[in-house]
Chain A
Amino acid sequence: MNKWTGRASSLEEWLEFLKSNEGLMENVTHWRTLPSRDPVYAPLPADLHPAWREALHKRGIEKLYAHQASAYAAARRGSHVVAVTPTASGKTLCYNLPVVQSILQNEEGRALYLFPTKALAQDQVAELQVLADLMESGIKTHTYDGDTPPTVRTAIRNAGHIVVTNPDMLHSAILPHHTKWVKLFENIKFIVIDEVHAYRGIFGSHVANVIRRLKRICRFYGSNPQFICASATIDNPKEHAERLIGEQVELVDNNGAPMGEKHFIMYNPPVVNKQLGIRRSSVLETQKLAAMLLKQGVQTIVFARSRVRVELLLTYLQELIRDKLDAKTIRGYRGGYLPKLRREIEKGLRTGEIRGVVSTNALELGIDIGQLQACVLNGYPGTIASTWQQSGRAGRRQESSVTFLVASSNPLDQYMIQNPDFFFGHPPERALIHPDNLLVLIDHVKCAAYELPFREGEEFGSEPLADMMEFLVEEKVLTHAGGRWYWMEQSFPAHGISLRSAAQENFIIIDITTSEHRVLGEVDRFSAPTLIHEEAIYIHEGVQFQVEKLDYPEKKAYVREVDVDYYTDANLAVELKVLHVDKEQETGELLRQYGELTVNAKATIFKKIRLRTHENIGSGPIHLPEEELHTSGYWFSFSEEAASRKSKNEMQYALLGIANVLVHIAPLYLMCDPFDIRVVPQVKAVHSQRPTIYFYDRYPGGIGLSERLYEVHDQLIRHAQSMITACGCLSGCPACVGPIEEVGLLGKEQALQLLREAGGSA
């Protein structure tokens, strides 16, 4: 440690210094050093085309990692492949090797690459172009997306060997116009799907159907392409890929990439009020750790779980390091920033000009930002898979890296930080999709019929084709003639169908501070009522704006820059109605059911919360229309005996306490965004008149999350019970059943009692 500058000469030295800092170390609950891993190599395949071999030499690639060689071999055998690789392990070669090889052997061959975002696609094309130039092979790679100029589109359709696009473009532009892509579809040999783990939930369910349509079009042109998928580490890569593409796949997971030593430090903010179990804010602690790293000159990425947190942290950090670094060297990054700004930030990170970035999980995907040295997670990212993905952003091949997981007071974070073995020993979550969600399926059957008439006897999804066809004939969009069903309607079905829920219905945020109005960013429809209601404080790039007018029908929010010392937080009131019970089971005093329900949600009031102290300093009403949702849900009810043992009030607190725990541990069994699933307790449920806790998928028709929870119900209840028991607080805290202001002085006991008596025997 240089005593003049306070700077350590290396990250290792700084970590040693950290170990001697007692004040900080008190809060470190676990420090695990993951040893560096040596590479496992394999020779370049013997059958590799000389030009390809030469190009790889020029790129300094003399040998492969084991998993790259395995992926190549599997693809050459003709299998569909899914390769599982951590961040920065050279996964692109897993698919580029066989694809380029195949095009070099047969110039007529074509390949289609799918990436979940435009940014990822652009990175990939840049890389492929470098390789093609090295080979002087004339292999043409192009992105085809909304930004592609019309003048080059025709050339790409006819001459592009590798067309790189995203599922949305495939869905709305390529498939409905497949006759313009005859060359591609007649000669397509490979379909590469990168980041398959990103295709989960409703988005994944849509994409699985787009792939069904893609395969149908390929069959029409007489081709039968091979799929090569790449995935981050998840629990069920093979099963997930198979559900997504509807084919058997060969799993490649023998990762041979080296990794530098990795320090994984779990950090729990100190308790400031033992009685109430309140800890210091994780935002403040994150900010402290990140500032320490940045002042050391360590390039650092901070992940936060919400847009608001990103902006809060960014504001704090830019203030803190103002005397050491230019504010422009620390940036925010999240959905809602416009693409140009994002590209600029990504580039700054690669070149090292930007020293720190605060991001939502938007940077979790494989966007090329180079490898950083340190990662600070503000709160547990929600899934083990995401945690490893985010942590993988720090870690260069030869050097040590460090990841801090700063726990928030929510129960899941506290559970993780107190049970490090659960985190390190447990496989990451399962990616779930439900391609046969009836609404999703019917949408894509329409698109498929538009693209190509359905023949009798054809199959599309699990629903009998004849039933779907008959339904759509009645709906007057199809006509039946000569043993086929034809699209017979004026509209273009793909236009009305968005693969990403609400993506097409984003609200635009317009800054009217100066006379030159400008678009600041956007917010999805689900978040709009709670984020940009009138009077809400919307924070963008660290600057506060107040929403002056929300034009709900036009989906526009007008904001003006303000300087206030609070932020806003909105409440959502929810009503539930059970429509249909599909499965049920009774154990002890507990009845659990799975089925369909409707949810009516309405934003009611918002609170103003003072920055830093987080105290409530006022509130106001929100006047916005109610949203209705039909979805699948899982719920369990306690018996009347159980109900009779408690007063209404006690039951209220007990249920609320259990719900608070469950909402945080449910994601342990699912791979989903915390917002994808909701938990609602009711003392006297409308459908059963009993105390009930509901879970529901936040998408019309459901996406399989509640169903999975129904299956793991017993584990879930046991888990909740052990977590409440293990918590060190006296009578409830934010880390288990919730703070006593919310669940009362006896909330913890009541919740535990209820679980023990009614469900605990399970």
Chain B
Amino acid sequence: MSGLRDRMNRLRGVSAEAGPSASDSHTEETTVPQQPDDKIIEEAADEETLHPGFEAFGVRICRTEWGPYLVRRLEYPLNHRHGTHALGELVEAAPGLAAFHEEAGCPSPQSILYLDLETTGLGVGTGNVPFMIGIGYMNGESFVIEQSLIRHPAEEYAMMMDLKRKLRNFSYLATYNGKTFDWPLVLNRMIMNAIGSSPWTPLHLDFLHPSRSIWRNTLTSCKLSHIEEERLGIEREDDVPGSLAPQLYFQFLADGNPEPLEGVFRHNEIDLMSLACLSIRFGFLLQERIFERIPFPEEAEELVRTGLWLGRMGRSGLPEELFRLATLSVTAAPSSLLKLAAADKKAGNWDRAVLLWQKAIVQAGEQCHEDASEACVELAMYYEHRTKQLDLALTFAQQALERCQLAGMEGKPSAKQIAELEALQNRSARIRRKLDQERSRKKDEA
């Protein structure tokens, strides 16, 4: 064996004394006392005994007909507050979530399974292993969290079989990015363990996409940990970032000491509760109970985005109210106004669209602002084609052209700016031509 290492070192140009290459990503493991791996595996494989360190944070062995794995089970009373919301609010909020799957009827709070994985790597490749599977669900008078952990990959089969058994009790799967990450990864593991490729067909409630729709521009990040802090009033203390979880797990595999895993359990637990609170937030939102149960957004951008998203989810009452607030906002960014105007234009709601475009120009002020030029173009189109007020159309086309030229003078114009400029010149020329024709026609008639 040392022969193989020597040969590898020679080929890679590493001197024999240098030992294992430090190129791998978890170099801090060198601080861990080096023990021969075989011994560790023997310890870990001693299935009947649990390292006492685990008991300190409530982990116990779960024995199944397929073998053992570890579980940490927590029950929170429904009145437990996690930030703004109490977990029990799910009872009231859940019916709102029906909007995600109208065909399936009204979800009961007990039918929703919350899922969050901690994995050994990134992506959904076959070598990425969820070493911890956290699930949460409402059961009678409590919210239950069950976190499974495998002490080594050979315990995975038992964990997955047990998960498959539990899945049948639920209809909905609530996640944060679970459609593309957590659930495909669970399926991977089912296949890898020859358990079958379709153990359960859930109705997905993936809150990543709605969150992005609403908070893309108002929050600096749409990570769950950021949203919970900014919008759900949740503050984590001493949180172990999710990105550290793989390294902590590798460390545990190497030395068998469970202590560093406590932070991972805790992180996963909070993720699950935050996820539940986020679902409560969306449930209320979809019931259009924004002023009653949840705070309404302050920024125009968020008002508009929330309204537009609700509109897409088939809601009609609340969006109008949100839009009204947005138009009244004195600090509304031109881009938010334009977004709403675009929706109005599409819906044929011309009066407000014109108002919003004009407001966007005012908000942009004297600065050369792409949004302002866009608003001018929209108005030019509106007056040219809809109301046939050609002189007004020309005014706005000219204004757009000027703004565009000004923008082009800052540094070298991009290909896009040049194309835009040309389009505007054509537009102005065409309106002028039409104006001339109209004038000469009027003259003729006169």
Contacts and interface: CB of A to CB of B under 8 A. Distances in A.
Nearest to A483: B154
Interface of A: 176-179, 182, 438-439, 442, 449-453, 463, 466-468, 470-471, 473-477, 479-484, 486-493, 515-516, 579-580, 596, 598, 628, 630, 700-701
A480 B41 contact: yes
Contact of B129 (A473, A480, A486, A491): A486
Contacts of A486: 129, 152-153
Given A468-B4, A481-B44, A489-B121, A450 B20 contact: no
B125 A482 contact: no
Interface of B is mostly: helix
Interface stretch (B5-13, B136-144, B166-174): B5-13
Contact of A463 (B4, B45, B188, B191): B4
B389 interface: no
A492 B122 contact: yes
B132 to A, nearest CB: 14
Interface string B2-30: 01110110111100000011001110010
A474 B13 contact: no
A244 to B, nearest CB: 23
B8 A471 contact: yes
A474 B20 contact: yes
Contacts of B129: 486-488
Q: Which residue, of B1, B125, B129, has the highest number of chain A Cβ atoms within 10 A?
A: B125
A149 B415 CA distance: 27
Interface string B28-48: 010000000110010011000
Contact of A470 (B1, B29, B121): B1
A179 B187 contact: yes
B61 interface: no
A475 B152 CA distance: 18
B7 A488 contact: no
A98 to B, nearest CB: 29
Given A474-B20, A481-B152, A490-B246, A580 B10 contact: yes
B120 interface: yes
Given A179-B187, A467-B1, A482 B45 contact: yes
Given A176-B127, A450-B125, A486-B129, A476 B250 contact: yes
Contact of A490 (B1, B41, B121): B121
A487 B125 CA distance: 11
B49 interface: no
Contacts of A487: 127, 129
Nearest to B157: A482
Contact of B10 (A450, A515, A630): A630
A701 B11 CA distance: 6
12 contacts: A176-B125, A176-B127, A179-B126, A179-B188, A182-B191, A467-B3, A471-B5, A479-B253, A486-B153, A490-B25, A490-B122, A630-B10
A739 B38 CA distance: 64
Given A176-B126, A179-B188, A482-B152, A475 B45 contact: no
B191 A489 contact: no
B122 A700 contact: no
Contacts of A466: 1
B412 interface: yes
Contacts of A701: 11
A451 B38 CA distance: 23
Contact of A178 (B41, B126, B152): B126
B343 interface: no
B192 interface: yes
B197 interface: yes
Given A474-B20, A486-B153, 13 more contacts: A179-B188, A179-B191, A438-B7, A439-B12, A450-B127, A480-B41, A481-B152, A481-B153, A481-B154, A484-B153, A487-B129, A488-B129, A488-B250
Contacts of A516: 415
A598 B10 CA distance: 9
Complex A-B, nearest 8 residue pairs according to Cβ-Cβ distance, in ascending order:
A482-B154, A450-B127, A481-B152, A487-B127, A486-B153, A481-B154, A179-B191, A176-B125
A473 B35 CA distance: 12
B123 interface: yes
A143 to B, nearest CB: 22
B124 interface: yes
Nearest to B125: A176
A476 B11 contact: no
Contacts of A438: 4, 7-8, 11
A630 B191 CA distance: 41
Contacts of B41: 479-481
Contact of A480 (B8, B38, B124): B38
A473 B5 CA distance: 12
B121 A451 contact: no
A476 B415 CA distance: 50
A179 B11 contact: no
A491 B125 CA distance: 10
A442 B415 contact: no
Contact of B125 (A177, A453, A467): A177
Nearest to B124: A177
A570 B252 CA distance: 54
Contacts of B124: 177
A77 to B, nearest CB: 32
Contacts of B11: 438-439, 596, 630, 700-701
Contacts of B25: 489-491
A579 B121 contact: no
Contacts of A471: 1, 4-5, 8
A439 B21 CA distance: 14
A492 B415 CA distance: 38
A487 B246 CA distance: 13
Contacts of B188: 179
Interface string B188-213: 10011000010000000000000000
Nearest to A178: B126
Contact of B121 (A482, A491, A596): A491
A182 B127 contact: no
Contacts of B44: 481
B411 to A, nearest CB: 11
Contacts of A481: 41, 44-45, 152-154
Contacts of B125: 176-177, 450, 492
Nearest to A453: B153
B10 A596 contact: yes
Contacts of A489: 24-26, 120-121, 250
Contact of A475 (B10, B21, B246): B21
Given A471-B8, A701-B11, A484 B154 contact: yes
Contacts of A442: 8
B27 to A, nearest CB: 9
Contacts of B247: 490
A1 to B, nearest CB: 54
B4 A467 contact: yes
Given A182-B197, A488-B253, A450 B13 contact: no
Interface string B163-191: 00000000000000000000000011001
A486 B156 CA distance: 11
Contacts of A451: 126-127
A413 B25 CA distance: 51
Nearest to A438: B7
A511 to B, nearest CB: 16
B412 A515 contact: yes
Q: Which residue, of A463, A467, A481, A701, has the highest number of chain B Cβ atoms within 10 A?
A: A481
Contacts of A468: 4
Contacts of B7: 438
A177 B126 contact: yes
A158 B51 CA distance: 45
A179 B192 contact: yes
Nearest to A485: B153
